[in-house]
Amino acid sequence: MKKSLFITIIFIFLNHFGSQSQTISDAYRYSDRRSTSSAASIGLSNAVGALGADFSAISINPAGIGVYRNSIFHLGFDVPFYTVESRLSNGESNNRNFKTTDASFNFANTVGAVFSIEQYNSPWKFVNIGIGLNKTADYNQSFYFSGKSQGSITDRFLELALDPTGNYPAGLNPNNLDNFEAGLAYETGAIFDPNLNDSKTEYTTDFIKFKNYPVKKEQLVNERGKASDLYFMVGGNYNDKLMFGVSIQMPFGNYRSRKTYKEGESSLNEYSPFKSLIFEDSLSTNFTGIQGSFGAIFKFNEHWRAGLSYRTPSYLWLRDEFHTSLSYTFENNNTEETYYSQSPDGTFKYNLRTPGSMTTSIAYVVKKGLISLDMDFTDYSKMKFNLSGQGSTTDDYAYESLLNEQIVNQYQPTATVRLGGELKFHGLKLRAGGAATSSPYKEDTNTSFSYSLGLGVKYKKSYFDFGFQQNSLKDGYAPYLTSSSDFDGNGTVDALTPVVKRNLKKSNILVSWVLKF
């Protein structure tokens, strides 16, 4: 992983804590929604935009509903597995890798029906309507790291407490500190005024004199949730040559995270009087939205067909609920003292516009199999927050402008290429595919890859499909962010940001049942 990517990751997690929990990484999380509904489609790595007659195909290109010649009922479930290896990278060379594994079961990750209405004495062969529910994202993931690196989260608390119009150590009045980080740090003694001068406020920490010392730190992150789309679709088959389709999607979902960050001693009185701290933060986000899509599939002849579709930007309404707490232990007159403080329950409502996407597809179909190619184009720099209109303040407008500027500066258009093939063999359908996606981050030139396998079986009017997909990704994570402050003015950075390297591997097993009626 290139160093430049980790610089990008740092910007992604800016203002991760605090009274406003929105970050540009949140925008990407809720924009990166992809159908994982159909085992048949997954077996082809979702290269199904020109094929149709499949629930994932319909979500990629609504014209796929026009390919149906029978009414169907579709039901599927999936079992995703996540493995994450994490290592504190900008610290001591002997920092260990930690591996965590997560698995979940999603019954009815897709459910829906298509009603096919044959047309007589008309060039329109079929007019079909459908309704369905597709899972589009899975947020279940956990990871853990532990190691030593220079810097402490108290550096961030100190930065938040300093007076932006003054010089270090001049600080804000304690009554003006935020309720979610700096205020907790002051109440527990993680930051303190050593002079207690009524005419001015100054802050410092126990770590200022240990700024060149590596500090033991660890964190456990638990993330949960998923996103789904509720579909309403209509499409038709014109003379067995041209299929049209339109759909309205109502995305909805939830995301929850709980993070426990700790610092402590490696040996007795290593950072005296400091002993330990525990900072916890939790976030719960619920969202709903609206989106549309339309597309066409053209059959050149018996074998060749092409598809083109466009998914409009989605407009999401989100509500965040968040909470933080801090426990700080230090030695005072040879006695350990522990102070604890927690924030009020914070809530915030806001809107997000996610980018639209275009898909072009081509497929070659014969009696014994097929090969299909899709290309997606999405410009993630078009994501946009709207923090106004919900009882917003001047600070909300300023923060909205900052977030949207960061999105434009950090994100870029991406392309995804998907290739899949199917072979019919003794009543079985054997499938395989692969996909490559360019990075959405401007400073990252890496490409992520995935591969998939699948199997299909027909029994009377029922179709049973099994799919497996695996993809890998490398990224970086910052447990907290600093502004790289030089507290003592000697020209070197005192407030360092720790960076954790992560290797993520996601595997997914899907099973689908389709009944014709």
Q: Give tens-digit pLDDT for 210-227.
A: 988 999 999 999 999 999
Res 102: pLDDT = 83
Q: Does residue 259 or residue 493 have the better pLDDT? A: 259
Res 476: pLDDT = 86
Asked if 352 contacts 386 with a C-beta cutoff of 8 angstroms, the reply is yes
Q: Does residue 475 or residue 262 have the better pLDDT? A: 262
* 172 phi/psi in degrees, rounded to 5: -75, 155
* Nearest CA among 19, 328, 346 for reference residue 186: 328
Could you tell me the CA-to-CA distances from 418 to 103, 133, 139, 431, 453 in Å, in that order?
Answer: 26, 23, 23, 13, 13
pLDDT band at 174 (very low <50, low <70, confident <90, very high): very high
Structure tokens at 132: 């369905």
450 pLDDT exceeds 60? Answer: yes
Report the predicted TM-score, pTM, of the whole model to 2 decimal places.
0.89
Asked if 368 contacts 398 with a C-beta cutoff of 8 angstroms, the reply is no
Per the document, the length of the chain is: 517
Asked if 67 contacts 482 with a C-beta cutoff of 8 angstroms, the reply is no
Res 36: pLDDT = 67
Res 12: pLDDT = 36
Res 143: pLDDT = 96
1 pLDDT exceeds 70? Answer: no
Please give the full DSSP string across 44-97, using - where no structure is assigned: TTT--TTT-SSHHHHHH-GGGGGG--S-EEEEEEEEEEEEEEEEE-SS-TTPPP
**Residue 355 DSSP label:** P
Average pLDDT, the chain: 91
Which of 1-15, 120-134, 344-358, 458-472 is predicted least confidently?
1-15
255 pLDDT exceeds 70? Answer: yes
Please give the full DSSP string across 127-191, using - where no structure is assigned: EEEEEEEEEEEE--EEEEEEEEEE--HHHHHHHHHB-TTS-TTBB--GGGS-TTTHHHHHHHTSS
* 18 phi/psi in degrees, rounded to 5: 115, 180
3-state secondary structure of 402: helix
CA distance 44 to 371: 9
199 pLDDT exceeds 90? Answer: no
- Domain containing residue 66: CATH number: 2.40.160.60
Res 390: pLDDT = 56
Contacts of 13 (CB under 8 A, 6+ apart): 23, 25, 477, 478, 481
pLDDT band at 416 (very low <50, low <70, confident <90, very high): very high
Domain span at residue 283 reads: 3-516
Asked if 369 contacts 417 with a C-beta cutoff of 8 angstroms, the reply is no
* Mean pLDDT computed over 394-410: 89
User: What is the number of structural domains in the chain?
Assistant: 1
CA 89 to chain centroid, in Å, comes to 22
Q: Give tens-digit pLDDT for 58-75.
A: 999 999 999 999 999 999
Q: Give tens-digit pLDDT for 11-39.
A: 334 334 444 568 888 999 999 987 766 99
pLDDT band at 10 (very low <50, low <70, confident <90, very high): very low
Res 486: pLDDT = 86
* Nearest CA among 295, 317, 318 for reference residue 306: 295
CA distance 168 to 446: 40
